Amino acid sequence: MNVSHFPERRGFAGHFLVQVGRALLILWGAFTLTFILLQMMPGDAVMIRFMDPELGLSPEQIETMRVLYSGSSNPVFQYFHTLWQVLHGNFGYSVQLGVPVGKLLSTALPVTLRLAGVGFLLSLVWTLAIAVGASLLPLRALRQAVHALPGLWSAIPLYWSGILIIQVLSFRLHLLPVVGVGAWEGVLLPGLAVSLPVAAPQAKLLLQQIEETERLPFVMASRTRGASRVSVFFRHILPNSVIPSLTMAGLSLGELIAGAIVTETVFGLNGLGQMTRDAVSGQDVAVLQAVVLIGAAGFVGANLAVDLLIPLIDPTLRMSHRIGGGKSGS
Amino acid sequence: MTSPAPVLDVNDLAIFYGDRIAVNGISFTALPGKTTALIGESGSGKSTIAKAVIRLLPPSARIDRGSITLNGQSLLAASSRTLNTIRGRQIGFIPQDPGSSLDPCIPIGRQVGEILRLHTSEGRQERRDHALTLLEKVGLPDPGRCFSQFPHELSGGMKQRVLIAIAVALAPGLIIADEPTSALDVTVQRQILDLLDRLREENGCSVLMITHDLAIARDRAHDVVVMQHGVVAERGLSDSLFSAPHSPYTRRLLRDSPAFHPRIPPARKVAPAQVPALEVSNLTITHRTHGGRTSPTVRNVSFTVQRGTTHGIIGESGSGKTTILRCLMGLIAPISGSVRIHGADAFGGRPGDRGPFRSMQLVYQNPWSSLDPRLTVRRIIEEPLRNHFDENRSWRLQRIHTLLERVHLKPDILERYPSDISGGQCQRVALARALAAEPDILVLDEFVSALDVTVQARILELLTELQNDLGLTFVFVSHDLAVVRQISDTLSIIRHGQQEEYGRAESIFSHPASDYTRTLLQAIPGKSASDCL
């Protein structure tokens, strides 16, 4: 006889729909907020670009440009127009470059996603390695050294560790060239640089949780059955400790997608970070709107994934959707 | 007649925690097919011995001298690899708290299978069948269902059965049971101990039982080792030790243990014309479940408590006794029925009116967690004085000293923190704090359940003294019948939210009317124990 892990399927499906709905609501909120903020910004990208005296445009021509780019000056109409367009995947035109934002994204986004992906995976590897090292290495001094790593990593600024990594791995050891390489090789070094500060808080949380879990009676109970320290660590301690760091990892992944400016600058990558920097300096509203939306989507998506993953690890959360509980007497 | 070779032989064992000696020269043996009980109060070193035998002492502990021999093999000389083959296979361990001794993330079947995976070459399917057989053997009602359930879906008693199934899986020669039933209800406790006895007889193994409960030791053990402050106070066969204890410490333990020495309160005369302190009639309380539906948790409970008497409320976990208590304190409102405090309808006023409840104070179960660890004893007692009385500091200090005297604490405790004082002292501080508000009625929630018997006896004496001196009325909520019997004038027995029985305590104990009460009374360990003193 096999009991399904989701005894009330509707319960889980409902949970899923609520989570997805909440994610969509947050995205809509992010869109609306940025729209309002960008509208309130003093100045105007059209002005900045076309009021340049060297272009020699008349005020009437500039006004025409403005209507052309903004559609209408009525903000309410503009809001719904932009929302409608965005829902159809149309992010408008970059005022600065005169090309569709979608086109800019299609070159910048893959770079950033690759960087985020590599950085994120490496950070997970680091986190796990630190947890294993700090718990299972033979010498107490070694364990403590590993235990101190996350604190060190979060203290090192990214631009410095980035330059250090280039110096050591590329210039000294010639392991990987920095320029003129394929799409994936190109993000390996920056991914490594960005993975350290991302791994630090995750690892710290995991170590803390492991310390708490180690004290729980079921860990000792498993040892009394003859399980070795290593076996108890992987079978009982680790699975019962990962949830807080998983939540943290969800936040980091969002951050990686939204804010890779420093890394991209240090390693000369043309990703979302560069795009954001150019758009901010040029008040390129359509580009900013798209970047914020993608950043928000990154956060929301990562957290949604984590929220849906956690019940798979912790059965007590899985069952909480059942009404009335299923305890039976002895 | 020669006695068989002992399964476990502990000789002159001494264990230190840092500089503090926890176990000082303990020797005892455990014979096959017999139960050996290690009894003693908290801090006596009994749990340390259990952990030393299975060689899982915390790193701060150090074995200083002595030997532990299991079936002729020295456990102190064994390598950690050898120990891993001994644990589980030759020694089974039943932990103290079934609630947290199973991994919450792993289904029951796999947790039973773990020990088979560690020590046998059984394949996946064999392990599954074996685990199911084991779950059936320990009397779980639906082993197949239980197999794929998670720990939080099982009751405490069922979890302890699972843990026993794991401990006996490979028929080890020695089973260590560390307070196996102290977290369980009394009826469940009895079933678990019966199960353990049955398995011991079937497998012919030796059981080393660690317990603070003398009555359990008397009912279940053949040999008894009484420990005090890390040394053996007395050792002997259960029958002779309990009928003719030699050591003064054993005698004191027996005297203080309510199961052995029931002190029945003298029937008090209460002037019938008086308005009762507390009158509860037809109390029904509903509880909102997750889906927004309501279900009654307490149905039609009625009782009357005369001034200066004690009403005991007995129930097992989940019976609704805490819900009743919360309602008495005005924390939740009943759906129907009434609570009258000194004749006044407590829920008669507008919702949230605390007025009628002013004369009641609640004292909680856990001695340490109910006191704010960041406050000194003085500030803990001072707080209600600040809240209830508009007086100056010197008046408050005066009152604090009077209150300390009331609960027999010395003034030097005032500047200490809860973490620095003992459980009994904590409960006295909690009492002083409750008395600060000058209540007429004290509601005591499992007030002495976490205390050792000798401390428990002193606190119960203190309660009686306070009641006589101050004319206090007590509502005493507990799962422990032996304790309730000592101090209650009247009793309610609650089961599944319903009042199974209500009446004078002595008549309920001598002539229980309901089947449930009879089951409860029979389940009390050491029920015949009082005959031997």
Residue of B nearest to A216 (CA): B100
ipTM: 0.77
- Amino acid symbol at B91: I
In eight-state DSSP terms, residue B487 is H
With CA atoms as reference, report the closest residue to B197 among B178, B175, B213: B175
Q: What pLDDT score was predicted for residue A3?
A: 37
What is the rounded distance in angstroms from the CA atom of residue A189 to the CA atom of residue B515? 75
Contact between residue A281 and residue A288 where contact means Cβ atoms under 8 Å apart: no
Q: What pLDDT score was predicted for residue B108?
A: 95
- The Cβ-side half-sphere exposure at B102, using a 13 Å CA radius, reads 32
CA-derived radius of gyration, chain B? 25
Best of A4, A135, A218 to mutate (most B CBs within 10 Å, chain B): A218
Length of chain A: 330
- Amino acid symbol at B222: H
Q: How confident is the model at residue B397 (pLDDT cuts 50, 70, 90)?
A: very high
Q: What pLDDT score was predicted for residue A259?
A: 64
Asked if B152 and A319 come within 8 Å (Cβ–Cβ), the reply is yes
Q: What pLDDT score was predicted for residue A7?
A: 40
Q: Which residue has the higher pLDDT, A59 or B253?
A: B253
Helices (H), A215-284: 217-224, 229-232, 242-258, 261-267, 272-281
CA distances from B64 to A4, B60, B232 (A): 52, 12, 17
With CA atoms as reference, report the closest residue to B414 among B424, B400, B399, B402: B400
With CA atoms as reference, report the closest residue to B112 among B155, B56, B51, B168: B168
Asked if B153 and A324 come within 8 Å (Cβ–Cβ), the reply is no
Q: What pLDDT score was predicted for residue A322?
A: 41
In degrees and rounded to multiples of 5, residue A86 shows phi and psi of: -65, -40
**Mean pLDDT to the nearest integer, A17-35:** 89
**Mean pLDDT to the nearest integer, A255-260:** 74
Asked if B148 and A217 come within 8 Å (Cβ–Cβ), the reply is no
What is the rounded distance in angstroms from the CA atom of residue B240 to the CA atom of residue B233? 15
- The Cβ-side half-sphere exposure at A86, using a 13 Å CA radius, reads 22
Q: How confident is the model at residue A9 (pLDDT cuts 50, 70, 90)?
A: very low
Chain A residues in contact with B119 (beta carbon < 8 A): 226
Q: How far is A136 from chain B (nearest CA, A)?
A: 15
Enter the pTM of the model.
0.79
**Mean pLDDT to the nearest integer, B402-407:** 92
pLDDT exceeds cutoff 60 at A328 = no
Contact between residue B453 and residue B214 where contact means Cβ atoms under 8 Å apart: yes
With CA atoms as reference, report the closest residue to B162 among A221, A4, A315: A221
What is the rounded distance in angstroms from the CA atom of residue B521 to the CA atom of residue B437? 37
Q: How far is A219 from chain B (nearest CA, A)?
A: 8
> To the nearest whole number, what is the mean pLDDT of chain A?
81
Q: What pLDDT score was predicted for residue A272?
A: 85
The DSSP annotation for B489-507 comes to SEEEEEETTEEEEEEEHHH
In degrees and rounded to multiples of 5, residue A235 shows phi and psi of: -85, -30
Token pair, residue A8, equals: 């009330």
Q: How far is B231 from chain A (nearest CA, A)?
A: 25
Residue of B nearest to A217 (CA): B101
With CA atoms as reference, report the closest residue to B152 among A225, A322, A14: A322
User: For B260-299, how does the pLDDT look when each residue is reduced to its tens digit (9 = 90+)?
Assistant: 766 666 556 555 557 888 999 999 988 765 555 566 788 8
Among the residue ranges A308-317, B86-95, B234-243, B333-342, the one predicted with the least confidence is: A308-317
Q: Which residue has the higher pLDDT, B481 or A147?
A: A147
**Mean pLDDT to the nearest integer, B183-208:** 91
Q: Which residue has the higher pLDDT, B289 or A158?
A: A158
From the list B103, B152, B290, the residue facing A323 with the nearest CB is B290
What is the rounded distance in angstroms from the CA atom of residue A120 to the CA atom of residue A126? 10
- Ramachandran bin of A105, using left for φ above 0, alpha for ψ from -120 to 50, beta for the remaining angles: alpha
User: For B31-44, how does the pLDDT look when each residue is reduced to its tens digit (9 = 90+)?
Assistant: 999 999 999 888 88
In eight-state DSSP terms, residue B411 is G
For B104-230, where are the E strands, in sequence order?
A: 174-178, 206-211, 223-228
Asked if B87 and A1 come within 8 Å (Cβ–Cβ), the reply is no
User: For B307-321, how does the pLDDT look when each residue is reduced to its tens digit (9 = 90+)?
Assistant: 889 999 998 877 888
Q: What pLDDT score was predicted for residue A1?
A: 35
What residues pair up with B299 in beta bridges, in sequence order? B498
* Interface A-B: count of C-beta contacts within 8 A: 114
User: For A263-279, how does the pLDDT look when each residue is reduced to its tens digit (9 = 90+)?
Assistant: 787 777 888 888 888 88
Q: How far is B370 from chain A (nearest CA, A)?
A: 22
**Mean pLDDT to the nearest integer, B482-491:** 88
Q: What pLDDT score was predicted for residue A48?
A: 62
Q: What pLDDT score was predicted for residue A190?
A: 84
pLDDT exceeds cutoff 80 at B29 = yes
Q: How confident is the model at residue A4 (pLDDT cuts 50, 70, 90)?
A: very low
Q: How confident is the model at residue B166 (pLDDT cuts 50, 70, 90)?
A: very high
In eight-state DSSP terms, residue B275 is P
Asked if A226 and B118 come within 8 Å (Cβ–Cβ), the reply is yes
Instruction: Tell me which range, A248-257, B213-222, B524-533, is most confidently predicted by mean pLDDT.
Output: B213-222
Best of A10, A15, A225, A313 to mutate (most B CBs within 10 Å, chain B): A225
Q: What pLDDT score was predicted for residue A68?
A: 64
Q: What pLDDT score was predicted for residue A5?
A: 41
Q: What pLDDT score was predicted for residue A327?
A: 39
Beta pairing, strands B294-305 & B344-345: unpaired
Percentage of chain A lying above the pLDDT 70 cut = 82
**Mean pLDDT to the nearest integer, A122-133:** 95
For B429-482, where are the E strands, in sequence order?
A: 441-445, 473-478
The H or E element containing residue B8 is strand B8-17
Q: What pLDDT score was predicted for residue A6?
A: 41
Chain B residues in contact with A1 (beta carbon < 8 A): 144-145, 147-148
With CA atoms as reference, report the closest residue to A315 among B279, B190, B149: B149
User: For A231-254, how does the pLDDT look when each residue is reduced to its tens digit (9 = 90+)?
Assistant: 999 999 999 999 889 888 988 887
pLDDT exceeds cutoff 80 at B501 = yes
Best of B153, B155, B186, B188 to mutate (most A CBs within 10 Å, chain A): B153
Among the residue ranges A177-181, B221-225, B380-384, B414-418, the one predicted with the least confidence is: A177-181
Token pair, residue A222, equals: 């498993």
> To the nearest whole number, what is the mean pLDDT of chain B?
88
Q: Which residue has the higher pLDDT, B500 or B420?
A: B500
Q: How far is A250 from chain B (nearest CA, A)?
A: 21
In eight-state DSSP terms, residue B335 is S
